[in-house]
Structure 1
Amino acid sequence: MRVPRTTKRLRPRSVRARIVTLLMLPIVSLMALWGFAAVTTAVSIGDTERVKDVNAELLTPVGELVTALQTERTAATRYAAAPGAQHLAALTAAGNASDRAVTAVRDGANASSTDAGLLDAGLPARIDRLEADARALAALRADIDKTDIDKTGADKTDTDKTGAAQKAFTGYSTVIEHAFAVVGGLTGENDTDAASEARIVLELSRAREAVAQEQALLAAGSGAGTLTKEQYALFVGAVATQRELLGPAIADLKPVHRTAYDAVLDSGSYDTLAAVENRVRSAGPGTSAVSAGFLTDWDGSAGAVLKGLAEAETGAGTDATAQADPFGWDTLGDSGMAVVLGLVGVLLSLLVSVLVGRGLIVELLDLRNDALEVAGRRLPRAMRRLHAGQGVDIDAEAPMRRLVGDELAQVGTALTAVQRAALKAASERAELLSGISGVYVSIARRSQVLLHRQLDLLHQLEQRPREQTEIQELYRVDYLATRMRRHSESLLILSGIAPGRTWRDPIPLSDVLRAAVAEIEQPGRVQAWAVPRVSLNGGSVADVIHLLAELVENAASFSPPSTKVHLRAARLRDGLLIEIEDGGFGMNEEGMAEANRKIQSERVDLLDARQIGLFVVNRLADRQGLRVELRPSPNGGVTAAVFISENQLRDDMPVHDAAVPGGQSQGGRPPAQALIPQRQR
């Protein structure tokens, strides 16, 4: 399965990042759950605080306004039905109380810190409508004050008074209904326990409103002496509403708040109230419904019931909301416990993750550092010592550990075992190479002795008078012996031993090049171009001849017999450049890079039997400080470039035609004569 590149980029690369990612995933999930619980709890606390603010600033003043308007409505209907000084005084007192309640509502709305639009989208409009109704109360009161005189200045009839009373009842009831609409908007904005209790109390408030309507209707009827059909229908509806709401709503209250309502229902005033309601409903509309026998103790009982309901309503709604504790068990509950326990769980998870992750990261980093130390320093250093022929104590370099501990400790033990195996293999290989080198030296020394004797014998035979054919045969044998001597010297060079041929005096570069060409099988294929007049220090002559012979022979071997091998030399500012160019088919980039690696590498693998001549060039170049490189030839073949530094050259050209004291070679001949075989002199 192929992994997309984007996924690869998102993957953590370091061990630390991967472990942190692995450990953080469950912690982040736990923190998300804890955050959800914390936010939920915070919302509950905020809702409770908001409900308290709404209750103190708006809900309580509106409730007091409703109570004041209910009292004023009863006084207004009684005064409208039966004008008199006593009734007017009661109306005036009730109006003053309503005005104070309106002022309290207005001040609470202005001081409220809660945006009404956030509680309920229609609440601002409801509050504005209630304020408009409050401003219209003055006009409604003015109409009631004139109920005893008509437009002509004459006393109004009973019918006019009944109509005025009904108008007052409707006006005040409309304002009260608008106040209940505001209360409904204030208590329906959330699902907190306090808000739920407030909605139940709102139903009880409507039940109290029904009782207040009953009182206002009977006050209007008793003042006029008769209960109209419309008033009777409103009275019966109010009774039904009161009885339908009061019982079920009280049953939904909390037990602590239900007690006050039960006391009202069990009181004699409520029994009297209920009895009067039943008698009025049974009597029907007319004068009998409001006769003195039917309304015995009505005002006192209705007032006591309304007062008891108002007090119970205050205790169940306003006080309960005001005393609600945002940080109490009722508000926090299970979510609060979840927040506390979740926080403890998050902290414990973080602590355990940090301790475990840190320990694991430290162990992994130590293991990585040990592996890098072994791979980058200790093992290569031991390898270099082994290749240099020095012994290595495997137990000191890689002490064996016991296979104990956890998996990481076992990985460290396995790493040590791998290091010991590598050192052991390298040590055995070094011993093998040392043995092979010794064999090379022994064979080369023996071959050199025989070859030198053979060359001396060939030189003696070449000096005797012979036929041209025999001389040519001797020259061919001389070529073969010279090449065999070079191969024997190659064995010594690969073994790290200098060959026997050395010179002390500088040798002309032209003689050095001719001597290198003379040591290959087909010297006639080599075309030497103009050579700078420069000499090579005697200590470098033998190695340079051998190195050039290897490169020239390699160029001749890997090019067609019909092509020439070009040998050029150029004097540079900081040294001498010699180029050997063949006319072969060249090498691909990989093959040429491999050949240059063998020439320039610091190590020589004696077990690699391919292109041993390149290893010989490597050893010679390293010993003399030469730079050798293979590169593509413009003609399609390969060019071998040899750079000789300035400190190995001399521009003066010494004369070598005569023997000079101190300038003899180890073979006893003049240096220039000793370079070139007899066949080329």
Structure 2
Amino acid sequence: MLVIPLVSLVALWGFATTITTSESLNLLTISTLYESIGVPGDKLARSLQREHLLSAEYLATGSTESKSLLDDQRRLTDDDRQEFRRSSGTSQAQDAMSPPMKARYNDAVAAADELDDLRQDVNGRRIDLVTLGQRYAWLPTAMIALINSMTLSNNVELYQQSRSLTSIGLAEDHMTREFALAAGLLLVHSRWEEPERRAFTQLAAKREFLFEQGMTELEPDLRAPFEKLIVSDVYRQFQRMEARIVSGTIGPDLTHAAWRQVSLDVDKAYRAAIDAGGVALASRGEPVAIATFVRAGVAGILGLAAVVLSLFVSLRIAGALSRELGGLRSAAQQLAEVRLPRVVERLRRGEKVDVAVEAPELEPPGTTAEVRDVAHAFSAVQHTAVDAAVDQARLRESVGQALRNLARRSQGLLQRQLKLLDAMQRQTEDSTALEDLFRLDHLTTRMRRHAEGLIVLSGGTPGRTHRNPVPVADTLQGAVAEVEDYPRVRVYPMPEVSVKGSTVTDLIHLFAELIENATAYSPPHTEVSVRGEAVAKGFAVEIEDRGLGMSAADVDAINRRLASPPEFNLADTERLGLVVVGRLATRHGVRVELRPSPFGGTTAIVLIPAAVLAPEAVLEGAGA
């Protein structure tokens, strides 16, 4: 039986050697992809940027001169497009591309083919400057996606530098789109409309963001040309002009000629820095590949020697020992795959388990002392594991029962207190006293929610139910009423859809916990927005705050806990509200997911399935 792990060892050695060598070959193909796709693709994108600028000026003036300049540039762009197709279509380039890369390549070719339709719209002057910029961005965007997919190396340094240069290159594309949009408007001294100013502002903001993002991880030798660029006089002049356009203070001195000159100077310096960085980055791939080849050769030879030696020694002692270990393995597999999972499942269901019956000692399968010792060790392990599982199950059940009893007592007292406060509110006429009673009522409602949250955490149900369906909007208003900072919450109008009465209490609790988190982790002067709409699979509710947000790792971790809520752990008291949300969502098949908000905060999306919604016939009956 030892032949199997030995064969696996040989296979693993061969696989590791193949992977290491494959990585080296991938590094060497970087230069091939750069020459056959990167260089002609970048040249095509630059020609397209020039054509975009001339197209904007032609749309602005419609003059014969601007049309002639545009036609000349189109011929140059067509030559570059044909060269890109020829160079990237060779068998060497196609073989070097992975399947995901080929998909991105097809997207880039399709975007290049769309250029003819765009030119027809420009010739007929049937397109505005904003839409012109969006459509001319298709090919550069597809090229950026293609370049990003060309990362064939696991070398973190090369990957980071490549992505940083790509980000800066994308910033340069946004800058050329700024050039074209402003040039078209300044050429005819046209008044800037709101869509045009908004588009320019968005391009400027995105350009600055991409540039700063790329500079963050760029190494000093690759960052130097860009640092020199941003402190140059022409770049600062461009920034001043850009800021004036964004603020709306253009003035008569900001002419088309001045803008065009600054655009040409900045673009020239920008492209020179990008070209230098790309050449330097591509040259780093070959030394890394050679070093990887050396490591692969040494690892392969040493690994092969170790495999041969292990095979020789193991085959000498494999006879009797393999049979005994086979019997022990079967017994251990029976324990690990059948008996122990069955015991744990029974304990989770609350059934009584006899440790002696469920964890009998393993019978030693042979006479070898070591094998018998291992069998006895397995027996001790399984007995301890089952015994510990039983004790833990009993402890969890007793603790949960105690928590449920205490929480239900508190829930009952708080419910009586709410009824008493309601009666006092109806009887008093003093506005000051009434306001105090309202605050006390609100505080008591929140205390009741916390008590019910403890019941949910300990495995129980709150007990409160509704007989008839309740509209989703009313359910959300009920949740807002249980939040401390409720004045900041705004529930927007939404379709008239109701949920079944049996789920109303749990949904109010679920929404209240999410809204409470949104108000707690956002500035006190900001709004927490609640929106809802019907979707194909039910009804979706979005709860959005404008706080500082969370990291991607935290969002992923919380979403995993919401999708599969863990057992209640008394030692883990962080974000108990989200644990309650996860349990309530699982109970009714509701899906809850957190996502970053465009405003910088966090958006909680709650999908209420159709099974929880009240049927239309029931709604009509309830309305009647």
TM-score, with normalisation over the residues of structure 1?
A: 0.44
Give the TM-score, by structure 2 length.
0.48
